[in-house]
Amino acid sequence: MFDAATEFDNQLDRLVELGYPTLADRTEDSFRELVAPLRAAAVSGSAGLPAPTEARVPFLLVITRELIAVEERLPLTTLAGRSKPGFLDRHYADGDLARFDPIKELEVPAGPAYLLFDVDRGEETLNLAPAAAMEVITAQDRLPLTIDEGIALVTVYPAALAKNKCFSLVGSRCGDKRVPALWISQGAPKLGWCWYGNPHTWLGSASARPDRVGLP
């Protein structure tokens, strides 16, 4: 049976193991204390949801760029069974990544960490342009993922990013037609971008339940 409290502890342990406290300029105890208030919300918010799979997880502990920059968290991602670090596509210009903010519909909680529920990597939307995928996602009363959330998913569940099962992060936009996406390149996760109106057979659009729970 799925135990949400144990799942939360496992996700937190994974972040500690990867060195998140050091990147956040905190001790391990301080980092754990920071996110500890979210544990009870993870349990209550994921009630009735199934155990994690490669395609869908009941909740994610999301660390935001307010605490640790994307450029520092991305290299800590890997593919399942691999060790090559994730990397940023060269087509992002210097300082470009910071321009991608969560779209207003998401109402992402302010602060260094929050919870995201019922996360799906978007296989249903493979070969749909992000514009079309958004129609599918919102019709199901769901919303797309942000860059922070996509990184959180691959960090805790590397198997979520697999061959021909990669995903766009339509929840982060910068005012033009580019959509960030995580896919596989050179045996590692790669954060790149695609066009809002272009489909790819190997690329879906990840989504989650609308509610996001921040720190009290």
Maximal CA-CA distance, the chain = 46
Q: Report the C-alpha gap between 19 and 8 in whole angstroms.
A: 17
Instruction: List residues bridging with 62 in a β-sheet.
Output: 114
What is the reported pLDDT for 209? Answer: 98
50, 55, 57, 60 alpha-carbon torsion, rounded to 10°: 180
Q: Taking the chain, what is the end-to-end CA distance rounded to the nearest angstrom? A: 29
Q: What angle do the packed helices 4-18 and 147-156 form, to 10 degrees?
A: 100
What is the reported pLDDT for 2? Answer: 86
Instruction: Show pLDDT as tens, one digit a residue, over the chain (216 residues).
Output: 689 999 999 999 999 999 999 999 999 999 999 999 999 999 999 999 999 999 999 999 999 999 999 999 999 999 999 999 999 999 999 999 999 999 999 999 999 999 999 999 999 999 999 999 999 999 999 999 999 999 999 999 999 999 999 999 999 999 999 999 999 999 999 999 999 999 999 999 999 999 999 999
Please give the DSSP secondary-structure letter assigned to residue 210.
S
Q: Report the C-alpha gap between 93 and 143 in whole angstroms.
A: 27
- For the chain, the domains span 4-214
Q: Closest Cα to residue 73, out of 33, 30, 18, 114?
A: 18
Block residue for tokens 């207003």: 104
Count CB-CB contacts under 10 A for residue 140: 12
What is the reported pLDDT for 19? Answer: 98
Structure tokens at 128: 């749909």
What is the reported pLDDT for 1? Answer: 65
Exposed/middle/buried for residue 120 (C-beta within 10 Å: 0-12, 13-18, 19+)? buried
Query: Does pTM surpass 0.95?
Result: yes
